[in-house]
Structure 1
Amino acid sequence: MKPTLGAAVLAAAFLAVAGPVAAQTCTPAISDKHLVEPGKLMLSINPTNPPQQFVDEKGELQGLNVELAAEIAKRLCIQIELVRMDFPAMIPAMNAGRIDGLNTGMFWNEERSKLMYTVPYSQQSISVAVLPDSDVQMAGDQDLLGKSSAVEVNSYQMAWLKKFSDAAAAEGKSAVEVRSFPTASNVVAALRARQVDNAVLVDSVARDLVGRGQVKEVLSGLGKTRATLAFRDKAVADAIVTALNDMRKDGSYDALFQKFSLTPLAQDEPLEIAGPGPAQ
């Protein structure tokens, strides 16, 4: 469905910081000609993956990506508006000029880096979770074969799982029965309803659920890669890179990841645009 401005959620912290700043006290680092809407940077988010991004009991956006956006807004002297939508709609919405970019913990890959300007900013991997009362144990990814796995549709973890399953089937082994769902919340709901044998999740999501006693993690560290921000305009991506490197220099970048128990890029990994970006 086409997202509308009515679907947009304005994070109060952004307005509190970016509104007055953008009004008179500093000059925005991104000019209007690079933005979908004058004076604001519109980024999509799918708040179903705590602690990266989620909605609290008051209905407010929370998480690392939300606070990262607020800090970037302050440093770039620009209002950031987070537009809530499911992941499959994000890239089409950006290509249609309805948003400026994605701020949803998307996994980086080469194909995506040719569609938009990608800025990797964290490390992530894939975990396999089962119900807390399950006696299932897994020694490695081969233990997924012949089982049914719930996974978020059009996600990195789904692509990894299907590639792994297809390779096993080509060798004459049992494939994975891959069942896809719109969001991570739906994936967990399917597991809790015992519709599948396991759930294949982003590691940070799995560990948040483990902490709340909702699942048990039986495999981790699969498909290690980088999570990335993504933008339709290079000038926007360049400004974000500058803000992230300033955060790394003053320690606020690492401090934010420590707060949410997530993994930043290593110090020897540059915060920069990765890949060629869209063909001109």
Structure 2
Amino acid sequence: MFRRTALAAALALAAAPALAQAPACTPRVADAELVKPRTLVMSTNPTLPPLQFVNAQGQLQGMRIELGTEIARRLCLTPEYVRIEFSAMIPGLAARRWDMINTGIFFTEERARMMQMIRYENNAVAISAARGNPLGIRTQADLAGRTVGVELGGFEERRLREISQTIQGGGGRPINVRTFDNFAVAYQALRAGQVEAVTSIDAVAAEYDQRGDFPRVLHGLFPTPAALAFRSRPLAEEVSRALREMQADGSLKALFDRYGVSVAEGDLGVVGPQ
């Protein structure tokens, strides 16, 4: 499955078929705000089970895929997904190759100055160890001198390097940070013994732990909301409205509960340049 996932994510511009057709209603977003008429084009890197992944039949699955499809339905738009590596998502959004980044991008003030963001999901960084945790990793200090894999260019890589700097400041050896195109490849490297641990997010590390693959030895690090991201402010405002509707009717919490994640605190409002 992971080989398929990595291959699918590497097909940078291969848009997945729409998961559902928009109902016969009036779109809540003007075509001028969209990449394609009456369509909500979303980028995702499907390498993060159970939140976003490709099943054995090659179909997109997961909480964030379901969320994006429901948002599109409420906006009376057809959902369409572009499978692409995370490192290309922000440049692609600026270039109008998709309307929305739907990959649980961590919210930062720096990112909110570049694009419209809606904080919707609580998230945090986690560390997965090799099966059986042979190195006995229990604390961040136990990562000193270890080779740790992480997806290139994301919040997780930045925080892993901060951990390494903290360890060095205390007199320990730095972490040997190895970056990969996506998390699926990083976990493949852990399985093959090419790295000694992987930095990912809590829900993903918990999924691998529950499968009996890799124990989640550290979690809850650097708690930060995950966000949806947009170029268009009018589109972001309508998505915010749809999320608030889902929160009011209970469907947002019900969806998140099924996947063991929680809704971010706040009013699901848009933060970004005016």
Normalising by structure 2, what TM-score?
A: 0.92
1:1-280 matched pairs, under 5 angstroms: 3-4=12-13, 7-12=14-19, 14-15=20-21, 18=22, 21=23, 25-266=24-265, 269-274=266-271, 276-277=272-273
- Whether contact under 8 Å (1:48, 1:183) holds in the other structure is yes
2: CA distance, partners of 1:88 / 1:251: 34
Once the two structures are TM-superposed, the CA of residue 171 in structure 1 deviates from its matched residue by 4.8
CA deviation profile, 1:112-134 (whole Å, cap 9, x unmatched): 11111011110111111112233
- Whether contact under 8 Å (2:127, 2:198) holds in the other structure is yes
Once the two structures are TM-superposed, the CA of residue 135 in structure 1 deviates from its matched residue by 3.1
Q: Decide whether aligned partners of structure 1 residues 214 and 3 sit closer, same or farther in structure 2, where only a CA change above 3 A counts.
A: closer
CA deviation profile, 1:209-249 (whole Å, cap 9, x unmatched): 11211111111111111111000000010000000000000
1: CA distance, partners of 2:67 / 2:221: 26
Once the two structures are TM-superposed, the CA of residue 41 in structure 1 deviates from its matched residue by 1.5
Which deviates more, 163-172 or 120-129?
Answer: 163-172
2: CA distance, partners of 1:171 / 1:142: 9
- Whether contact under 8 Å (2:47, 2:54) holds in the other structure is yes
Q: Decide whether aligned partners of structure 1 residues 143 and 3 sit closer, same or farther in structure 2, where only a CA change above 3 A counts.
A: closer
Which runs of 5 or more residues in structure 1 are unaligned?
none
Once the two structures are TM-superposed, the CA of residue 170 in structure 1 deviates from its matched residue by 4.3
CA deviation profile, 1:158-199 (whole Å, cap 9, x unmatched): 010112212433454321110111111111011111111111
Once the two structures are TM-superposed, the CA of residue 2 in structure 1 deviates from its matched residue by 9.7
Which deviates more, 252-261 or 157-166?
Answer: 157-166
2: CA distance, partners of 1:72 / 1:255: 15
1: CA distance, partners of 2:11 / 2:177: 28
- Whether contact under 8 Å (2:11, 2:84) holds in the other structure is no
Which deviates more, 209-218 or 165-174?
Answer: 165-174
Normalising by structure 1, what TM-score?
A: 0.90
- Whether contact under 8 Å (2:46, 2:52) holds in the other structure is yes
Same amino acid, percent of matched pairs: 37
Cα RMSD after superposing both structures: 1.7
2: CA distance, partners of 1:159 / 1:105: 16
2: CA distance, partners of 1:187 / 1:135: 18
2: CA distance, partners of 1:8 / 1:86: 13
1: CA distance, partners of 2:197 / 2:175: 11
Once the two structures are TM-superposed, the CA of residue 45 in structure 1 deviates from its matched residue by 0.5
1: CA distance, partners of 2:270 / 2:144: 36
- Whether contact under 8 Å (2:43, 2:101) holds in the other structure is yes
1:128 alignment partner, SS class: strand
Once the two structures are TM-superposed, the CA of residue 57 in structure 1 deviates from its matched residue by 1.2
1: CA distance, partners of 2:197 / 2:12: 32
- Whether contact under 8 Å (2:128, 2:218) holds in the other structure is yes
Name the amino acid aligned to 1:10: P
Q: What is the number of residues matched between the two proteins?
A: 265
- Whether contact under 8 Å (1:3, 1:93) holds in the other structure is no
Which runs of 5 or more residues in structure 2 are unaligned?
1-9
Once the two structures are TM-superposed, the CA of residue 146 in structure 1 deviates from its matched residue by 1.7
Once the two structures are TM-superposed, the CA of residue 137 in structure 1 deviates from its matched residue by 2.9
Q: Decide whether aligned partners of structure 1 residues 138 and 42 sit closer, same or farther in structure 2, where only a CA change above 3 A counts.
A: same
2:122 alignment partner, SS class: strand
Once the two structures are TM-superposed, the CA of residue 139 in structure 1 deviates from its matched residue by 3.5
Once the two structures are TM-superposed, the CA of residue 43 in structure 1 deviates from its matched residue by 0.9
Once the two structures are TM-superposed, the CA of residue 101 in structure 1 deviates from its matched residue by 1.9
